[in-house]
Structures are given as C-alpha cells and as structure tokens.
Structure 1
Amino acid sequence: MWVVRRPQELLDALPQHDNQLRDPNSDEPQQPEYAQNAYRSVKPEIFVAVGLCTHLGCSPTYLPDSFGEQVQGVSSGFFCPCHGSKFDMAGRVFQGVPAPLNLVIPPYYYVNDTTVLVGADKEGA
C-alpha cells in the first residue's frame, strides 16, 4: 500500500504526459467512482494506491526523484523491476510496458485531517 503526498508542481505536471499513457482518463474500473478524476484520489495532494503491479503482482519501486531515468521528462513515479512496467504519480500505466492496467486505487476515506482509513468506503463504515 502506498500513501504519498504529492506537491502542487507534481500535480500540475500530471496532464503533460497523458499522450504517453495507456489509460490516461482511468476509463478501466481500477478505482472507486470518487477517485475517477485527474488525480485518482479524494484529495489531490494525497495519493493512495495498492502497491502491486497489474502485470504479475510484483511490487513496483517508488522513485520520487529518479523516475526521469525511466521516462524522460517525468520526475517521479513507480517502476516495476520485475518486467519494467512504469506508472506515473496518479498510478496510471505508461504505454509499451507489460502491465495492462493502471494501479488499483482501493476504497478509502478520511476519518479526519490526519487519518485515512483504507479498505472501506465512508458510506460502508
């Protein structure tokens, strides 16, 4: 499971590489409806995702400062060392890699400003 704080400059840069992604609009149902947005999250600055590659279930590595070595012009992301799949900071998969789908966004909600409960929707809590 990943819970990552994303700075504003990273959020602003997300749409700049949409043309390199397999499913930039998250049309595949890999997230709850409330996270089917440009950031794939409830709060844009907080990213919550299941840390398993959608190819064969390996655990991608979070590269906060060196993802540009994997995808030129993209500073941060997730790289799966097993077979080379690459995901941006919204968990969207890049084209030309083995992973067929974006990372899974689990159900979750904020209990308060500093606590997130993963695994349940607010309505079901």
Structure 2
Amino acid sequence: MQKIFLIDVNLPRFFSLWNTVEYIHQYDLGDEWSDTEIWKFAESENLTIITKDSDFSSRILLHNPPPKVIHIKVGNMKMKQFHEILNKLWPQVIELNKDFKLINVFSDRIEGVK
C-alpha cells in the first residue's frame, strides 16, 4: 500500500492511529523542511497533509489538490484527550477526505471545504 497522508512535524510522531504504511511523518523526511518544501513534496506524491498549522489550510483555499489538507483545530489539550477525540472522529475524517480538499477537525465537529 502506498503513502496517502503526510503528518506535519507539529503533530505526534508516535500515534497508534497513524502507525500504518499509509502515513509518513515529516520527521522521517526531515524535520527542518519549510512549509513550501512540505507542500511541494505532498503535491508531487499526491498526499494529504495532516497539520495543526493554519498556513496549509490557507494555502489550499487558493489552490486545487493535490495536496489535500486535514487541519486539526482542537487547541491545546492533554495527549490522552487528543487521542480520544481523533480516534472517535477519524473514520469520518477519512471518508470526507475523499470528496473535500480541506477538512477542518474540531473537538466537537468536522467541516469539509470543496
């Protein structure tokens, strides 16, 4: 199976939900990459960027995929709570990612932008 998702350096590297061959963490590519380098890599590999960085969600609004962006907007919280929220919402996020170029993930809802 090929890589589908690129996890930005600002998200946990070791997270069981993302511990499959479909996911690659930016740390494994080079944790010093600029946003532009990340964007270009994700674009060339047809990946979806998973991030907490609003720069990527702003950029996708002005472009067409690839890449797509999943913007996690849950704020600061304990890691346990972060895991619980994402584990609950992730199946729906993955489903929406098929049809939307931007998915905004909040602690209580998910929004898709075409």
Q: Which bin holds the TM-score, normalised by the shorter protein? A: under 0.3
Q: Which has the higher contact order (CA 8 A, sep 6+)?
A: 1
- TM score, norm. by length of structure 1: 0.26
Which of the pair has more CA radius of gyration? 1
Q: Which structure carries more helix by proportion?
A: 2
- TM score, norm. by length of structure 2: 0.27
